[in-house]
Structure 1
Amino acid sequence: MDPILEKIQELREELTGHNYNYYVLDNPTISDYDFDMKLKELQQLEARYPEYHDPFSPTVRVGGMITKNFETLVHEYRMYSLDNSYSREELEDWEKRVQRILGGTEVDFVCELKYDGASISLTYENGRLVRAVTRGDGFQGDDVTNNVKTIRSVPLKLKGNYPEKFHIRGEIIIPLEGFSRMNQERVEAGEDPYMNPRNTASGSLKLQDNAEVAKRPLDCLLYSIIGEKLNFSTQFEGLEKAREWGFKVPPVTKLCHSTREVMDFIDYWDIHRHELPYETDGVVVKVNSLAQQDELGYTAKAPRWALAYKFKAEQVSTRLSSISYQVGRTGAITPVANLEPVLLAGTTVKRASLHNADQIAKLDVRVGDTVFVEKGGEIIPKIVQVDFTRRQPGSEPTVYITHCPECSTELIRKEGEAQHYCPNYYGCPPQITGRIQHYISRKAMDIEGLGGETVALLYKEGLIENYADLYLLRKEQVIPLERMADKSAENLVNGIAKSKEIPYERVLYALGIRFVGETVAKKLAKAYPSIDTLRRATLEELVAIDEIGVKIAESVVDFFSNEDNVRIVERLRSYGVQMETSPEKLLGQTNLLKGQTFVVSGVFEHISRNDLKKKIEDNGGKVASSISSRTAYVIAGDNMGPSKREKAEKLDIPIISEYDFMEILQRATTGVS
C-alpha cells in the first residue's frame, strides 16, 4: 500500500476513535490540542492528495460546503407524532387499551426521556450515513445531510454487525452548557442572545454554510430504529445494538414490567430532569416487543404502542392588556390575548390564544385580569386560569365581537361549531391574503421567493386579488415593492413559473377547499384523477370514498358550485397548473382491489412491508392496522402477532402469504377467477 494512503487511513481511524470516545462516551483519551493537530495533519494530507478523498473522513466534521436550497425528500417510513398523557390515570387507561388489543398477553415497556430538540431521521446503507432528513410534516422533510455530518456524535461509519439498510430517528439538541457558551459569545459580540436551545438547534440545521453549523455545539440523541430484517426483536435490544454500532443513546433508558415501574421512572425524572445536561419535557413510554408494536399498529396520527407522558408545563402569571380578534383564511375568528411580556420556558410571551367565545366564557377572562399562562405541549402559549384574588373592582365581563374586525360583516356561528365566522369570503382582506398564502405554502405549491409578507404587499398594491393572479405577475411590477431587489424579483417570478410542475394532488390541497387537508386531497385525487371529474362528483359519490365524510363532501360540492371558484380554477389550468394526475403516476394504478381492506403483519422475505402496502393502495385497496369484520385478507409474514392471528381466525378472515397476495393480484389482472 502507498505509505501516504496508509498514513491517511491511520489518521482517519485514530480520529474516528477519539471522536467516539469524546462525543459519545464522554471519555476523552487525548487532549483537545493533540486532536486538533492530528486533524490538521489529515486535512493537509487530503488537500495534497485529492485522489484519496473520502466523503466519510473525520475532516468533513469541519464543514466547508454551501447548501443554497434544501431538497425536500419523502420519508420512506412516516415520522408519526405521539399521543400525549398528563396523568397517571391516562397512562393506566392507555396500558389497558394495549392489553385489550393484545388479548391480555404480558407486555413490557421501555421508558425513555423525551428530548426537546429538532427531530431527525438518519439513513444508513452498508454502515455509512447516506442521508439526514428533518421531520418536516412527518411525510416529507428537508435533506440536511451535509449539515448533520458536522455533528460529531453522529457516526459517519458504523462498527459491528449492523443491518444492510435502516433508518434511525432521534433529536438534534444543544446541551445547556454549550447553549450558555454560545449566548455569552453573542452578548460579548454585541448581538442578541438566542432565546432557547430547541429553536436554535432547529435553525442550525438550515444554515447554508455547514462550516458555521460545525462551530455550534450540536449533539444527537437517538431513540428508534426502523427498517426491514433488523437483527433484534425488542425496542430495548435495538437501543443496545445502536450503542454497539456507535450511536449516542442516553443510558437512562429503562425496561419496565408494569405501570408502577413506569410511574416510578416518571416520578424520578420529574424531579431530577433539571440535573440533566439538556432539556427534556417528559417521558416516552413504548411497548418493548416489536412484534407487539406491529400488532398494535397506528392511528391516523400516532403509534398505538407509544405514549408521551408530559411533565407539568411551566406556568407564569402576567396581566391581560387587551383582547384582539384574528381572521383566518377560512373566515374563522380567533380571539387573542395580548399580554404584558413575560418569560416562559425560554421565550418571551406577549400573546396567547383564547380559542373561542366558549373558552372566554368558561374561564371568565376579562381585560385587566392577572392570568396564568402555560405552553400547551411546551409550544403554544395558552391562558389556563384567572387569578380572581387580583381582579380589579368594577371589571366588566368580556363581550364577544359581533362583526368582523377587518370588513365589518356580521359574524355567523353554525350550529355545533365552536368558532364564529366572517361569511364575506371574497371581500374580507385577511381571508383573501390567507388563501393566497396557503396556496404558496411549502406543502401546497411551494413557491420559492414568495412569502406571506410579500403576498400582503402584492394585495395591498392591487397587483393580485386571488392566487390565479400570481401567474400574471411580471418582474418589472414586482421590483418597486419594498425590500425587493432585481434578483429577488426574478426569483419570485421564476418560483411562480416552477409551481406549474407541482402535481395535481398538491394543487387540490393548495386550492384551500375547507376541510380538504393533504391526506384528503390525496384521496380525492386518487378517486378523481382530474379536476373535471371531481367537479362533476355528487355528494353521494364523494361520501362513498373511504374516509370522506358528509362535511368534507359538502365543502367540495359547495366549492365547485361557486362560479368564482370555477373561473379561478379554469384560469389556473390555462396558465399551465396541473389539473390532472400525470400519466406516469397513473401507470400501474388500478381499481382491482377496490372495496377490499388488507392488514399486513410480520416480516416478509421478498418484498418490504412498505412496498406491499403500496401495491395494495396502487390497486385501489385499503391498508388497515387492525383486524375487523371488514377485513378482506390478512397478509402474514414471519413473526405475525399471536393476537392478530387469533382474531383473524375468530372472525374467519383468510390469512395469506406474500406469494398468495401476488397470485390474487395476478388473477385480478388477467381476469382469471
Structure 2
Amino acid sequence: MNKKYQNIDLISKEEAKKLLIELADKIAEYNHAYYIEDKPLVSDAEYDQLFNINLKLEQKFPHLTLENSPSKKVGAKVENKFAKVTHQVPMLSLSNVFDEEDVKDFLDRIKSFLRLDQFSPIFCEPKIDGLSFAATYKNGILTTGATRGDGYIGEDITANIKTIKDFPHKINNAPELLEVRGEIYIEKNDFTSLNQEQEQQGKDKFANPRNAAAGSLRQLDPSVTAKRPLKYFVYAIGSAKEELANSQDQLLAKFKELGFNVNEIGKLANSEEEIFSFYEYLKTNRGNLPYEIDGVVYKLNDFALQDRMGFIARSPRFATAHKFPAIIGQTKLLSITVQVGRTGTLTPVAELEPIEIGGVIVSRATLHNYQEIARKDVRVGDYVFLQRAGDVIPQITGVDLAKRSADVTTFDPPLFCPSCNSKLHYVPEDIIIRCDNGLNCPAQNYERIRHFVSKNAMDIEGLGRKQVEFLIDKGLISNPYDIFFLKEKNEASLTKLENMDGWGKKSVENLFNNIEKSKNVSLPRFIYTLGIRHIGEQNAKLLAREFGSYENFIAQMELLKENDPEIYQKLNNLDGIGDKMLVDIIDFFDVKENIELIKNLSEVLNIEDYKETREQSSLTGKIVVFTGSMPTLSRAEAKATAEKLGAKVAASVSSNTDLVIAGEDAGSKLKKAKELGIKIIDEAEWLTLVRDT
C-alpha cells in the first residue's frame, strides 16, 4: 500500500483533506468499473482497505466529510442504455468486517444501540458473489426487475430477469405489493462451459462468475440473456415484510412457500460461538459449493429490532458481511512487461504460467511499482505466491525462495520508454518511473484518448479500447479533437468506416450520434476530460466551482502559468488542492499542445457553466456535538438521526461547531460551548428540531 495511506492516526488536517478527495475519486472509479462495466480494477481486499481508510479519516475529521463521500454512496450511477427504476426503499449495501474482533464490535454495537442486556439471535447466511437485484410483484404478477444501481436508482432488467429458468412470473397468495431482493449468479461449472463457448466464438472470456452473471443480465437483447446459465436466490424484502414474517428465518421460509429459490445453507445463531463456528465451516467448505461465496452475512433476526436500528448513509446497522480472506495460489513468473499509463507512469506487470485460483484462470498479476519488485525480491523464473479476491489482475504477495533456481534473473527498471524510447525519470515521492513525452508518446496518447471518451468524462459510447486503437492505427484520429470530425472524414473517404472489419452501418451510425450528443458538457466534466495529473472528478469539481465558467477557468490558468501569486494562493487555499497538484496543473498548461487542444475543443463543444445542485436543509452541513447523557436517546441513535438529516457530528467543541445538544451531567464541552457563544439546546428541543426539519 502507498505510504500516504499509512499512519492515519498521525495525519494532519490538511493532509486528510487532500487524501479524502483522492479517495473519493479513486473509489468512485473502482465503483464504476465494478458495478457498471463489470470489470473490477482492484481486488476486493484492496477496495475494502481504501474504503476503511476513508471511514477512519471521516471519523477523525467529521467536518471534512465530502458531499460525494464513498461512505454516503452505494454502487454507481446507472447507464443511459437502460430505463431507470427508482427504488421505493433504498437498496443499500452491507458494511464489511474482517476478523472476530470486528464481529464482536458489531454485536456490541447492537446491544449498545438497543440497550439490550442479552444476546439477540443473529441469522447467518452465505454471501453469494453475484449481482444484486430487486423484483416487484403487483397482485402476484412480476412487473419490474431492477439492478441495485446507486442504491436509489437502478436499471430496468425486467425482460432479462424473466428469461431466468424457474424465476416466478406469477405467485399465488401474495400481498397486493411485494418486492423481493436477492442475488443472481452463475455456478462454477456453468462458468467454465460459458468461457469455453466464448473462446470458440472468438469472444473475450469473462474474468470470473460474478462478471459473467452481471454481463449476462445487463444485455440489451434478452435473447442473449436467455442463453446464459443464470440462477438466483432471494433473501430480503423491500416492502410488505410485516405482512409476510416477523424475522429473517420466517421470511426465508415464506419465500420458499411462495415458490422462490432460497439458499438452504443458513443458521440462526444464539451466541458468538455459534456465529464463529458457522463462519469457519463455510470458509473450510466453500470450495465444495457449486457457486462462489466471498463471506458470511450476519443479520439481526428480529425485524422489529432491525427497524429500531435503522440505517446509516449506505448500509443497515443491523447487518454486516464477514469477508473471507483472499484465495492464495502459486505459479511461475515467466516475464515482466511494462505498461505506460495516461499520465506517463510506468507499471510493471507479471506474466505468469496460467493457474486456476478460485475457478478463474490467472495469467497476469500487478507488481504496482519497481520499489515493490525490489522489496519482495521478485525475479523472472521465480515461483510466486498469488492472492486473488475476485479481481481481474491479482497481486503477487511473495516468493517461494525454496524453489528459486540459479538461472532466475533480476528485473532492472527501464531507462527509456518502451513506447516512445524517450528517457525516463524517477519520481521518488510517488515511488514511480515516468515518461514525460506527453502526447508524443503513443501509449500516453492512446490512454489519454481512452480517458477522454470514458463514461465519467465525455461518455462517448461505442469508442472502447479496440475501436480507439483501430481509429489511431488507421490514422483517422490522433487526438481527442479529431473525434468530432470523424463523420466528415468518413463521408469524404472512398473507404467507409462501416465497410471495415469490426464495424457495421448501425454501429457507425450510433457512434456518430453519440459523438454529437457528447458536445454539451458541464465544466467539471470538461476539466476532468483533460486528464491533468492528480485532477480527478472531485478536484475538477472544486476548480469548476471556483471559476464558474470555461472562460474564467482558462483566464485564471494563464495567470497561474505566469506564476501569479494571488491565483496561486487562492487555489492553494481550496480544500484538497495543494502545492503538488498546482505544480501538475502548471506543468499541464505549460505544454503548447495541451493549450492548442483545449482551444480547439472549446470551438466544437458547448461547455456549460458550473451549477451547484445540492439541496439544502436547516441541518445540512451543520456541525453538531452531543454531550452528557440523553434521557431517551442512546448516543448512537442521536448521532444517527443527526447524520441522516445531513449534519456532521463532531467529538469535540470548536469555533466551527454550529450546535451543541446537552444532556444530563454535561461537562467541559458544555462549558466551552458557552464560552464560544455556540447555540445550546436540550434533547427535547433537538427532537422538535428533527421533527420540523
TM-score scaled by length of structure 1: 0.68
SS of the aligned residue for 1:473 comes to: helix
What is the letter of the counterpart of residue 413 of structure 2?
Answer: Y
Aligned to 2:215: 203
| 1:497 CA displacement | 0.8
Q: Does residue 147 of the first structure (1) align with residue 147 of the second (2)?
A: no
| 1:337 CA displacement | 0.6
Aligned to 2:361: 348
Aligned to 1:421: 434
What is the letter of the counterpart of residue 210 of structure 1?
Answer: P
What is the letter of the counterpart of residue 508 of structure 2?
Answer: A
Q: Does residue 172 of the first structure (1) align with residue 184 of the second (2)?
A: yes
SS of the aligned residue for 1:338 comes to: strand
Residues 501-560 of structure 1: CA deviation (Å, up to 9, x unaligned): 455544444333444444555566566653445554956655666666776676567656
Q: Does residue 457 of the first structure (1) align with residue 470 of the second (2)?
A: yes
Q: 1:210 to 1:420 in 2, by over 3 A?
A: same
Q: Does residue 388 of the first structure (1) align with residue 401 of the second (2)?
A: yes
What is the letter of the counterpart of residue 348 of structure 1?
Answer: I
How many angstroms apart in 2 are the aligned matches of 1:434 and 1:387? 35
Aligned to 2:512: 493
In structure 2, the gaps of 5 or more residues are 1-78, 558-566, 626-631, 633-641, 674-679
In structure 1, the gaps of 5 or more residues are 1-67, 603-611, 617-621, 636-641, 665-673
Aligned pair partner of 1:214 in 226, 251, 256 = 226
How many angstroms apart in 1 are the aligned matches of 2:322 and 2:419? 41
SS of the aligned residue for 2:330 comes to: strand
Q: 1:265 to 1:440 in 2, by over 3 A?
A: same
What is the letter of the counterpart of residue 354 of structure 2?
Answer: P
How many angstroms apart in 1 are the aligned matches of 2:439 and 2:623? 42
Residues 651-670 of structure 1: CA deviation (Å, up to 9, x unaligned): 95776789857977xxxxxx
Q: Does residue 269 of the first structure (1) align with residue 298 of the second (2)?
A: no
Aligned to 2:622: 596
Aligned residues of 2:621 and 2:648 also touching (Cα < 8 A): no
Aligned to 2:418: 405
| 1:142 CA displacement | 4.2
How many angstroms apart in 1 are the aligned matches of 2:145 and 2:670? 42
How many angstroms apart in 1 are the aligned matches of 2:193 and 2:430? 49
How many angstroms apart in 1 are the aligned matches of 2:451 and 2:203? 34
Aligned to 1:530: 549
Q: 1:394 to 1:154 in 2, by over 3 A?
A: closer
Residues 261-303 of structure 1: CA deviation (Å, up to 9, x unaligned): 32111111123334544332322335665357546555xxx77
| 1:336 CA displacement | 0.5
Aligned residues of 1:296 and 1:304 also touching (Cα < 8 A): yes
Within 5 Å, give how 1:246-395 maps onto structure 2: 247-256=260-269, 258-286=271-299, 289-290=305-306, 294=310, 297-298=313-314, 307-377=320-390, 379-395=392-408
Q: 1:485 to 1:250 in 2, by over 3 A?
A: closer
SS of the aligned residue for 1:426 comes to: helix
How many angstroms apart in 2 are the aligned matches of 1:558 and 1:163? 62
Q: 1:105 to 1:347 in 2, by over 3 A?
A: same
Q: Does residue 114 of the first structure (1) align with residue 127 of the second (2)?
A: yes
Provide the aligned length of Structure 1 versus Structure 2.
567
How many angstroms apart in 1 are the aligned matches of 2:227 and 2:329? 34
Aligned residues of 1:296 and 1:626 also touching (Cα < 8 A): no
SS of the aligned residue for 2:226 comes to: helix
How many angstroms apart in 1 are the aligned matches of 2:590 and 2:278? 57
How many angstroms apart in 2 are the aligned matches of 1:123 and 1:577? 41
Aligned residues of 1:207 and 1:213 also touching (Cα < 8 A): yes
What is the letter of the counterpart of residue 323 of structure 1?
Answer: I
What is the letter of the counterpart of residue 389 of structure 2?
Answer: G
Report the aligned-residue RMSD: 5.1
Aligned pair partner of 1:511 in 495, 516, 530 = 530
| 1:429 CA displacement | 1.8
Aligned pair partner of 1:572 in 601, 606, 610 = 601
How many angstroms apart in 1 are the aligned matches of 2:406 and 2:171? 68
How many angstroms apart in 1 are the aligned matches of 2:241 and 2:544? 34
| 1:484 CA displacement | 3.3
How many angstroms apart in 1 are the aligned matches of 2:106 and 2:603? 52
What is the letter of the counterpart of residue 604 of structure 2?
Answer: Y
How many angstroms apart in 1 are the aligned matches of 2:113 and 2:433? 40
Q: Does residue 436 of the first structure (1) align with residue 449 of the second (2)?
A: yes
What is the letter of the counterpart of residue 489 of structure 1?
Answer: V
How many angstroms apart in 1 are the aligned matches of 2:432 and 2:86? 35
Aligned residues of 2:327 and 2:387 also touching (Cα < 8 A): yes
What is the letter of the counterpart of residue 596 of structure 1?
Answer: K
Aligned residues of 1:326 and 1:333 also touching (Cα < 8 A): yes
Q: 1:354 to 1:179 in 2, by over 3 A?
A: closer
How many angstroms apart in 2 are the aligned matches of 1:160 and 1:624? 46
Aligned to 1:71: 82
TM-score scaled by length of structure 2: 0.66
What is the letter of the counterpart of residue 215 of structure 2?
Answer: G
Aligned residues of 1:296 and 1:305 also touching (Cα < 8 A): no
Aligned to 1:9: none
How many angstroms apart in 1 are the aligned matches of 2:616 and 2:548? 12
Aligned to 1:33: none
Q: 1:385 to 1:570 in 2, by over 3 A?
A: same
How many angstroms apart in 2 are the aligned matches of 1:461 and 1:591? 54
Aligned to 2:486: 473
How many angstroms apart in 2 are the aligned matches of 1:225 and 1:195? 30
Aligned to 1:22: none
Q: 1:256 to 1:626 in 2, by over 3 A?
A: farther
How many angstroms apart in 1 are the aligned matches of 2:531 and 2:241? 41
Q: 1:424 to 1:660 in 2, by over 3 A?
A: same
Aligned to 2:460: 447
Deviates more, 1:253-262 or 1:100-109: 100-109
SS of the aligned residue for 1:337 comes to: strand
What is the letter of the counterpart of residue 345 of structure 2?
Answer: A
How many angstroms apart in 2 are the aligned matches of 1:393 and 1:133? 57
SS of the aligned residue for 2:440 comes to: coil
How many angstroms apart in 2 are the aligned matches of 1:279 and 1:308? 15
How many angstroms apart in 1 are the aligned matches of 2:234 and 2:448? 39
Aligned to 2:503: 484
How many angstroms apart in 1 are the aligned matches of 2:131 and 2:195? 19
Aligned to 1:5: none
How many angstroms apart in 2 are the aligned matches of 1:127 and 1:553? 59
Q: 1:195 to 1:489 in 2, by over 3 A?
A: closer
Aligned residues of 2:623 and 2:650 also touching (Cα < 8 A): no
Deviates more, 1:147-156 or 1:74-83: 74-83
What is the letter of the counterpart of residue 602 of structure 2?
Answer: R
Q: 1:372 to 1:522 in 2, by over 3 A?
A: same
SS of the aligned residue for 1:352 comes to: strand
Q: 1:625 to 1:266 in 2, by over 3 A?
A: farther
